[in-house]
Amino acid sequence: MKADLRIIIDKLFTSLTGLAIASMIIALFVILGPMLYRGFGAIVFRGTVEFRKMQIAEFHHGNAEKVKQEAEKTQKVRQVVYDMIHRFRNGIDIEELENRVKDIHRNYGNELQQKDISREQYKELRDFSKEIRDKLIDTFSSDNIEKIKENIDFVLQYEMDERFVETVAIEYFTIARDFLKSSAKIDFEKRDFYAAELEELEDIILRLLGPAPDADTPMLAQKRYGATRLDQTNILFHQLFWKEKWVEQENSVALIKIENSRPEQFAGTELEPLFGYIKDNIKQMLNPKLTFYWRYFFDDSTPGHYFGGIGPEIFGTLLLTLLSMIFVIPFGVISAAYLTECTKEGPVVRIIRMCINTLAGVPSIVFGLFGMAFFVLFFIPIFGGPSQPCILAGSLTLAVLTLPVMIRASEEAIKTVPQTYKEASLALGASKFLTFVKVTLPAALPGILTGIILSLSRVAGETAPILFTAGIAIGPIPKSIFQTTRTLSYGSWDMAVSDKLAAEVPHNQFGMVVTLVLLILCLNAMAIILRARVFKKLKGH
Amino acid sequence: MKTVVIRILLVLAILASTNVMAQEKLHIEGSTTVGPIADGFAEVFSKLYPDVAITVNKSGSGTGASALIDSRCDIATMSRFMKEKEFKDAVDKGVFPVAHAIAMDGVCVVLHPSNPITALTTEQVRDIYTGKIKNWKDLGGPDLSIVVISRDTSSGTYETFESFVMNKEKMASNIEYVSTNPQMFGRVESTRSAIGYVGYGFVKSGVKAVTLNKIKPTVQTILNGQYPVSRPLYMFTNGYPKLGSMTHKFISFYLTEDGQEVIEDKGFVPVTNY
């Protein structure tokens, strides 16, 4: 009976441990899986022609000639969209039309002044132009279709008039004809409604296709291009056809979301065919192609990480991590050697050990503030360095942060070296120092490497200690260790907290985080391989 | 192993020795709210003056102030005005902070779009945050208990909201705190009964900004101070910078048309109007 129970409990224990491991693996997949998937979206995606234009203009990557041809080809298809909107706008934007005819009148006057004509002639022509102008302005603000027709017909009879032929005034008639055409299809009471809707529509098209070729170049790179990726294109495409709206519902106070069809809103107007055209030609307008953006790991980015890669961040992280390892390994191993080899177990050692353990529990932001107060403001200036955050100060701070881990791991490793090894060495006449360097240290190396792996992972991912000592959100790639740097961890934090635009480029956010995870994994893998090789050597194979 | 270490050391030595090229530097430190504007300006300046190394750090208004006091930065970005103590510390160290209000920001009260309420008064908002009003029903909304969300107490946005809306009354103890604008936006976007407050740039599809005392937060109402919770955003320099210096160009960029465009694109209200 007792034996049976023991077997059952044993089996239960085994299955429980198995379950724990399984759930851990599942959790790993659940957490890392989607992150990895979305992170890879930063590298492999369907890039549109806008992406290639951006790459040429901002980073000088790609075949400029080929992209130019592609851009021209897509531009031809897009022009139809711009023309349609332009024509529709002519029918509804009264203020704009008024300004334009006023401009024409002014320009016509200027042109006449250049001509060799008498004062009376000039006055007569200008008055006539003014009459046409006023007639048109009057027409624009009218909402009686009969009156509009009458007025426009009145204006158009002068189209072939010799007074206007080959002058700027000829534009009057283009505007008049366009206006008549669009106003025939428009419900005048809905003019304001159309104007507001058109603004929204134009904003979506701007984000989809980028600024029109005749528009000014925006100051910021994030506004200079349309949708660079197919996933963005699809979202905007949906918005183009469906307008989100919150409306009241029956028997509830809360509002409910519905989606109105945009083409229906413009039904019957000149803009209606636009939607069909975009639907049929969206591929030709943006030309999405499967893109493998391996330069993501090397490229610089535009401020705010809107476009580009994370090259400087990777470089900065590696530099900080390796430099801090160079500081922490000797200090850690020597301290461990002192604690295990040079002193006897006693109150002093116990106190030192307690201090080290406490240090391991100190929050990392405290190390950050300590780093700024000690290294940045005090220690580096002593040696004539600049009293400014820099990579050196950051890596020293990180070294202090990870020192306890390093000391503990090394200590344990040194302790596990069998006493007989040391005794044999000492018996052969070697000094204590020589024994430690030649016998104890090589035998303890695998354990020390474990400590290095642990500290390496911690250091690469820390944000708080470098916040005040080495990290910056924007800046050039460092040229010396006395400059500040960007890092992956700081970059991820910066993207998450500050700019609203980061939410529009989630792939970059995920890409950065996944890269950080993979970088730590790679560093660890390298250290583990090294450890395995050392282990093999020690075994004498 | 040995050779690898030696090689790494060599590379580092080279890196260290190529230090201090005669390059003009401009370091900007401070608020996470004003950070995006500094980002945008830096982007434009890196094209205009490619030789200047501009660095931007976003660690909070307070850190920006202390960095200016210690002369660790050229420009401190702040979402609040300098405190008396900071001024005193600065003058003691021979630093004379000069404020440049580069843009305006409104702190907008936001609800979930399914909430039928479109107008609140500052008193009502205060009552919600002090816990006197607990259900949307009391304000004519659906029968849902209100989920009150605030920014953490160290943020400039919180300070603005607190001084303009709370009128020295304490917020209730059971409200939820988040630490950034994007977090606040996400929290309100996903909670039907939530109320929160964000910077003007975060009022976009997904949340609904209500009118405060019948005034809708728009560019105009924030700029002329009609909207009750408006605030200027600052850049502080040590004295007025030397005319024509890079610092001067940077802090006066907001006056240009291009600077205004950048501020608008980053979701803030420019003080100029072209």
Contact A246 B265 (CB under 8 A): no
Lowest-pLDDT range, A197-201, A327-331, A513-517, B87-91?
A: A197-201
- B151 shares contact with chain A (CB less than 8 Å): no
Locate A378 and state its tokens: 């005090």
Per-residue pLDDT, B5: 57
User: Residues near A364 by Cβ (< 8 Å), separated by ≥ 6?
Assistant: A401, A462, A463, A464, A465
Q: What pLDDT score was predicted for residue B256?
A: 92
Q: Which residue has the tokens 């800046």?
A: A475
Do B238 and B202 sit in the same domain of this protein?
Answer: no
Identify whether B247 is part of a domain: yes
Establish if B191 touches chain A: CB-CB under 8 angstroms: no
The pLDDT tens digits of the residues spanning A216-240 come to 888 888 888 888 888 889 989 998 8
Interface test with A, best of B55, B63, B183 (most A CBs within 10 A): B55
First CA to last CA across chain A, in angstroms? 50
pLDDT above 70: percentage of residues in chain A: 99
Residues B30 and B85 in one domain: yes
Distance from CA of A282 to the nearest CA of B (A): 24
Sole residue written with tokens 């020589």: A434
* Domain contains B270: no
Closest-CA residue of A relative to B139 is A253
Minimal C-alpha gap between B173 and chain A (Å): 25
Lowest mean pLDDT among A130-139, A481-490, B143-152, B193-202: A130-139
Domain presence at residue B273: no
Does residue B253 belong to any structural domain of this protein? Answer: yes
Q: What is the mean pLDDT of chain A?
A: 86
pLDDT of A190 above 90:
no
Q: Identify the residue among B43, B79, B105, B190 best suited for mutation to test binding to A, counting A beta carbons within 10 A and taking the highest.
A: B43
Contact (CB, 8 A) for B273 and B138: no
Within 467-526 of A, beta carbons closer than 8 Å to B belong to: 467-468, 471-476, 478-484, 494, 496-503
**H or E element: which one contains B58?**
strand B53-58
DSSP string, A203-236: HHHHHHH-S-TTSPPPSSHHHHS---BHHHHHHH
Residues of chain B found within 8 Å of residue A473, distances taken between Cβ atoms:
35, 39, 56-58
H/E segment holding residue A197: helix A191-209
Beta carbons of B59 and A482 less than 8 Å apart: no
Q: Which pLDDT score, from 0 to 100, does residue B9 have?
A: 58
**B78 Cβ neighbours under 8 A, 6+ residues apart:** B30, B31, B34, B61, B64, B65, B156, B233, B234, B235, B236
Identify all chain A residues contacting B54, using CB atoms and an 8 Å cutoff: 474-476
Q: How large is the average pLDDT for residues A306-324?
A: 91
Partner residue opposite A503 with nearest CB, options B8, B59, B182:
B182
B173 shares a domain with B187: yes
How many angstroms separate the CA of residue B128 from the nearest CA in chain A? 19
> Between residues 153 and 212 of chain A, which touch chain B (CB distance below 8 Å)?
none
Tell whether the model's pLDDT for residue B15 goes beyond 80: no
Instruction: Report whether CATH 3.90.1300.10 matches the domain A305-538.
Output: no
The Cα B13–Cα B19 span in angstroms is 10
Q: Looking at the complex, report in whole angstroms how far the Cα of residue B106 sits from the nearest Cα belonging to chain A.
A: 15
Q: Which of A55-59, A73-77, A160-164 has the lowest mean pLDDT?
A: A160-164
C-alpha angle with apex A13: A9 to A19, nearest 5 degrees? 140
Set of chain A residues whose Cβ sits within 8 Å of the Cβ of B116: 248, 253-255
Residue B136 has pLDDT above 80, yes or no: yes
Q: Flag whether residue B20 sits within 8 Å of chain A, measured between CB atoms.
A: yes
Least confidently predicted of A11-15, A157-161, B82-86, B121-125: A157-161
Residue B93's domain is classified under what CATH number?
3.40.190.10
Mean pLDDT along residues A467-493: 88
**ipTM computed for the complex:** 0.80
Q: Is B52 in contact with B248 (CB distance < 8 Å)?
A: no
A145, A182 Cβ separation under 8 angstroms: no
Q: Closest chain A residue to B193 measured between Cα atoms?
A: A254
| A541 has a pLDDT exceeding 70 | no
The verdict on residue B116 lying in a domain is: yes
Give me the pLDDT at residue B4, please: 59
pLDDT in tens, A381-431: 888 877 888 899 999 999 999 999 999 999 999 999 998 998 999 999 988
Report the mean per-residue pLDDT for chain B. Answer: 87
Q: Which residue has the higher pLDDT, A500 or A362?
A: A362
Task: Indicate the SS3 state at residue B25.
Answer: strand
Lowest mean pLDDT among A158-172, A331-345, B220-234: A158-172
Q: Which of A256, A302, A468 is opposite residue B43, by nearest beta carbon?
A: A302
Chain A interface, best mutation among B1, B5, B19, B63, by max A CB count within 10 A: B19
Q: Mark yes or no for CB contact B16/A389 under 8 Å.
A: no
Task: Answer yes or no: are the C-beta atoms of A107 and A146 closer than 8 Å.
Answer: no
Give me the pLDDT at residue A318, please: 92
Q: Which residue in chain B has the smallest CA separation from A224?
A: B265
Q: Do A499 and B35 touch (CB under 8 A)?
A: yes
- pLDDT of residue B88 exceeding 70, the answer is yes
Write the pLDDT tens digit of every residue in B140-190. Answer: 888 889 999 998 887 778 888 888 888 888 888 888 998 888 889 989 999
Q: Is the pLDDT of residue A171 over 70?
A: yes
Looking at residue B167, what is its pLDDT? 83
Where does the pLDDT of residue A119 fall: very low under 50, low under 70, confident under 90, or very high at 90 and above?
confident
Q: Are residues B145 and B206 in the same domain?
A: yes
* Residue B80 to residues A404, A456, B83, B230, B234, Cα–Cα distance (Å): 40, 39, 9, 11, 7
Total number of domains constituting chain B: 2
- Helices A272-286 & A191-209, crossing angle to 10 degrees? 10
Q: How far apart are CA B148 and CA B171, in angstroms?
A: 10
What is the residue extent of each domain of chain A?
47-52+189-292, 93-185, 305-538
- Residue B80 C-alpha, separation from nearest chain A C-alpha, in angstroms: 16
Say if the Cβ atoms of A304 and B180 lie within 8 Å.
Answer: no
A411 forms beta bridges with none
User: Which residues does chain B have within 8 Å of residue A257's beta carbon, measured at their own beta carbons?
Assistant: 113-114
Q: Could you tell me if residue B233 is left (phi over 0), alpha (psi between -120 and 50 degrees) or otherwise beta?
A: beta
Q: What is the pLDDT of residue B180?
A: 83
Question: Rounded to whole angstroms, how far apart are CA atoms B110 and B118?
Answer: 10
Q: Distance between the two ends of chain B, CA-based, in angstroms?
A: 64
Residue B274 lies in a domain: no
User: How far is Cα A471 from Cα A364, in angstroms, rounded to an integer?
Assistant: 14
Q: What is the DSSP letter of B81?
A: P
Q: Specify whether B138 is located in the same domain as B202.
A: yes
CB contact under 8 A, B39 and A303: yes
Contact B232, B104 (CB under 8 A): yes
Task: Label residue A161 by pLDDT band (50, 70, 90).
Answer: confident
Q: Which distant-in-sequence residues (6+ apart) come within 8 Å of B153 by Cβ?
A: B177
What would the mean pLDDT of B218-245 be, rounded to a whole number? 90
d(CA A510, CA A503): 11
Confidence category of residue B20, pLDDT binned at 50, 70, 90: very low
Which residues, 6 or more positions from A500, have their beta carbon under 8 angstroms from its beta carbon?
A: B36, B181, B182, B185, B201, B202, B204, B266, B267
Would you say residue B222 has pLDDT above 80? yes
Q: B233 burial class (0-12, 13-18, 19+ CB within 10 angstroms)?
A: buried
- Across the interface, whether the CB atoms of B54 and A473 are under 8 A apart is answered no
Instruction: Check residue A255 and report its DSSP letter.
Output: E
Among candidates B18, B38, B182 on the partner chain, residue whose Cβ is nearest the Cβ of A479: B18
H or E element, residue B270 = strand B269-270
Which residues does chain A have within 8 Å of residue B43's beta carbon, measured at their own beta carbons? 219-221, 302-304
Task: Note which residues in 60-89 of chain B have CB less than 8 A from chain A.
Answer: 63, 70, 72
Assess whether B112 and B81 both reside in one domain.
no
Q: Tell me if B272 is assigned to some domain.
A: no
Interface contact A29, partner B, CB < 8 A: no
- Cβ pairs A/B, distance under 8 A: 148
> Which residue range(s) make up the domain with B27?
2-104+232-265
Q: How far is B209 from chain A (nearest CA, A)?
A: 14
Mean pLDDT to the nearest integer, A527-541: 81
**Sign of the alpha-carbon torsion through B238, B241, B242, B247:** positive
What is the dihedral sign for C-alpha A430, A436, A440, A445? negative
B58 to A481: CB separation less than 8 angstroms, yes or no: no
Q: What is the pLDDT of residue B21?
A: 47
Query: Both tokens of residue A260?
Result: 């109105």
Which residues from chain B sit within 8 angstroms of residue A501, using beta carbons? 36, 266
Q: Residue A458: pLDDT above 90?
A: no
Distance from CA of A90 to the nearest CA of B (A): 24
